[in-house]
Amino acid sequence: MMRDNPFGQRLPRLVMEGLGHLAQGITVFDADLRLVAWNAQFLETLGYPPDLAFEGADFASFIRFNALRGEYGPGDPEAQVAERVAVARRFEKHQVERRRPDGSVIQVTGTPLPSGGFVTTYTDVTAVRRQEERLQVMIAQRTLALQASEARLKLIADEVPAGIAHIDRDMKILYANKRFAHAYGLTPEQMIGLRASDVLHPRTLRESARFFEQARRGSLVDFEMRVELPGGQMKDIRTLLRPEAPSAGEVIGFYLLSIDVTRRKATMSALMRSQKMDALGRMASGISHDFNNLLTIILGNLGPLQDQLGEGELCDEYLRPAIAAARRGSSLTQRLLGLARREQFDPQPTDIDAAVSEICSLLRSSLPQTLELVQRRHSDLPRALVDQAQLEMALLNLALNARDATGGRGRIVIEADPYALPLEEAEMLHLPVGDYVRLRFSDDGCGMGADHAERIFEPFFTSKAAGAGSGLGLSMVYGFVKQSNGAISLETAPGAGTVFTILLPGVGIGEPVAPAAHEPEPVQEGGEVLVLLVEDDAEVRRTIRRKLTGLGYPLIEAADGDAALSLLQRLDSIGLVLSDIEMPGSLDGVQLARRIRDGFPAVAVALMSGKAGSARAMAEAGLAVPFLQKPFSPTELAAALTQALDAVERRG
């Protein structure tokens, strides 16, 4: 073949020169596995010495060189050579990669030749493989980072206090977090693929349809509505809808975020109710002084007039109703003031079960026989820190309210049980965590709608007919609970009865501080003690003067604290000062009493007021003197003056 070649012996040299320009190593072995052609890249790539390659070199010599330098790993070099030579003699097409001990990677590609033998290329793919490895590591790292990011997002989505869902424009759920799914008694996996109509209550779906339609049209929608969940549970939910629109602009779905605002609304309602009660307290405190002064004058004049007229038609027809109305006004004022003041609050560790039993015994005799009263008792009931008298009054008000709600026919259930207030509920109610007594007062009466339930504790609000109630009964219950550092809630619906739930703090949670009360002394007639009456209102002063003279006390009068102090400095015969607390001038009644205590220790002092909070002001000033709340009776006046005189005697 070579003889017929016109290039003669130049062909092998030209072939070798041409092969030397390849980027890969190359060898050509004949059918006897003898080297025919090669290039320098072959020797350089595989690290062979130049003298190993020559025309006619045996294929086995290259394999043996590799085996002896450990290219094929541990083992018998001759066995390694024999194995590889046997494979080569099959002249099969092959492509393998061999990682050399120095870390480089060689790709070996062998192709059989039609006339026998084969041509093999040797490509150093180390850089490529290392780059691929780096890419694999990077991909793995990015995959782990993505998985971690998805896990974080899922954790955040599942733990945020909101329900989250992804819904397509056909109202099919594509994703739901735990909170959204659990609200409907499902898992997130069970939610996927369901339609909104499969999950939402028909009424909820009907009332929210217009909002979903706005979101499908691309609007950002925020709305709040009352939602019915499985089991009939009602929740106030604020929902945010955000359209999902790809670059083309067409809305293909929307994201839904729902937030339970039931507790927030309850807290805001309680705050508003508390603010209303505070406003009432301020209003009552402001008007009570003048109002009670008026009642003092009215009753102070009607009483003597009745005594003079005696029995008769004129007295029965005109005078007695007027006196009764004035006393009802006085009672109403006292009840109103009771909502705004705390000085009469005397909390003590109380056996709630015994207190409920006692009031139930009283109620059974006064309620209609057609109205059943049931007390449910629990063992291990802790003692609660309350004023028992006010507790009984609160239960009485609830019972009377239930009597009217049932029309005197039905059932009232009073149940007290221990209750460990959890942290979440405690934060909502602004109460300390701890053990409470839970009182549930329920009736099967007419119930009430949401508008009435919202205002039920407001002073003067009543659903009864005009003149049938003052509207202060449930307000007083609310005031008692708040004074007890407790909480009250209401569950009701038209035709479904009403349940009042009251939480009262167990002993040890915290004791409200109540001023010390003064025990009334026995009433005794006035003697030769000269009384200084200090009152800025002339009509009120005249009325009280009549009561003092009726008790046998001689007296002089002053219109303010400055005039009273001047009289005390000039007259040594004054033995007792009866002073109003709220007066014009530089000295009010509390300041005057302090000056008397420090400068005239032999003079007895009693104070009076028609304003709420006066007794507290006395306690804060450290004045342990008798106090009279206007309007007061002659008997109450006599007791207070006797108590004041006895206190001076004891100091003696």
Beta pairing partners, 241: 221, 256
pLDDT band at 309 (very low <50, low <70, confident <90, very high): low
pLDDT tens-place string over residues 431-485: 888 889 999 999 998 888 877 777 777 765 666 544 445 556 677 788 788 888 8
At residue 122, the pLDDT reads: 92
Give 3-state DSSP helix, strand, coil % of the chain, rounded to 5.
45, 20, 30
Beta pairing partners, 167: 173, 254
CA distance 522 to 120: 129
**By three-state DSSP, how is residue 492 classified?**
strand
At residue 52, the pLDDT reads: 92
CB 581 within 8 A of CB 588: yes
| CA distances (Å), origin 331, targets 71, 299, 328 | 111, 13, 5
At residue 652, the pLDDT reads: 64
At residue 405, the pLDDT reads: 86
At residue 62, the pLDDT reads: 93
At residue 515, the pLDDT reads: 37
Q: What percent of the chain has pLDDT over 90?
A: 20
CB 566 within 8 A of CB 542: no
Q: What letters, b where the CB count within 10 A reaches 16 and e where it falls short, cover 499-515?
A: bbbbbbbbbebeeeebb
Which residues neighbour 259 within 8 Å (Cβ) at sequence distance 6 or greater?
A: 161, 162, 163, 237, 238, 239, 240
Looking at the predicted structure, is the pLDDT value of residue 578 above 90?
A: yes
Instruction: Identify residue 97 by its one-letter amino acid code.
Output: E
pLDDT tens-place string over residues 623-643: 788 888 888 888 889 999 999
DSSP H helical ranges for 551-602: 561-570, 589-599
pLDDT tens-place string over residues 375-422: 888 878 888 888 877 888 788 888 888 888 888 888 899 999 998 888
At residue 6, the pLDDT reads: 44
Instruction: Identify residue 429 by its one-letter amino acid code.
Output: L
Instruction: Write down the residue that tokens 């030769």 correspond to.
Output: 528
pLDDT band at 234 (very low <50, low <70, confident <90, very high): confident
Looking at the predicted structure, is the pLDDT value of residue 544 above 70?
A: yes
At residue 337, the pLDDT reads: 59
Looking at the predicted structure, is the pLDDT value of residue 16 above 80?
A: no
CA distance 523 to 517: 18
Per mean pLDDT, which range of 50-59, 101-110, 443-452 is the poorest? 443-452
Looking at the predicted structure, is the pLDDT value of residue 275 above 80?
A: no
At residue 465, the pLDDT reads: 47
Looking at the predicted structure, is the pLDDT value of residue 249 above 80?
A: no
Q: Which run of H or E residues covers position 627?
A: strand 627-629
CA distance 554 to 408: 55
Mean predicted lDDT score pLDDT of the chain: 81
CA distance 193 to 216: 19
Q: What percent of the chain has pLDDT over 70?
A: 81
Does the pTM surpass 0.75? The reply is: no
Read off the pLDDT of each residue in 127-139 and give the average, rounded to a whole number. Answer: 89
CA distance 61 to 88: 13
At residue 364, the pLDDT reads: 77
pLDDT tens-place string over residues 313-360: 767 666 777 777 776 666 656 655 555 554 455 677 888 888 888 888
At residue 78, the pLDDT reads: 92
Closest alpha carbon to 389 in 480, 295, 309, 279 = 480
At residue 65, the pLDDT reads: 93
Closest alpha carbon to 514 in 343, 387, 389 = 343
Q: Which run of H or E residues covers position 483?
A: helix 473-483
Residue with the bigger pLDDT between 276 and 199: it is: 199
Beta pairing partners, 641: none
pLDDT tens-place string over residues 57-89: 999 999 999 999 888 888 999 999 999 999 999
Q: In degrees, to the nearest 5, what angle opens at C-alpha 338 toward C-alphas 333 and 342?
A: 145
At residue 9, the pLDDT reads: 47
Domains and CATH numbers, the chain: 10-124 (3.30.450.20), 160-260 (3.30.450.20), 268-338 (1.10.287.130), 348-505 (3.30.565.10), 530-651 (3.40.50.2300)
Read off the pLDDT of each residue in 36-40 and give the average, rounded to a whole number. Answer: 90
Sign of CA dihedral 49, 55, 58, 59: positive
Segment of 479-493, 505-519, 603-617 carrying the highest mean pLDDT = 479-493
At residue 338, the pLDDT reads: 56
At residue 383, the pLDDT reads: 85
At residue 442, the pLDDT reads: 92
- How would you classify the pairing of strands 118-124 and 25-29? antiparallel
DSSP H helical ranges for 407-439: 423-429
CB 578 within 8 A of CB 554: no
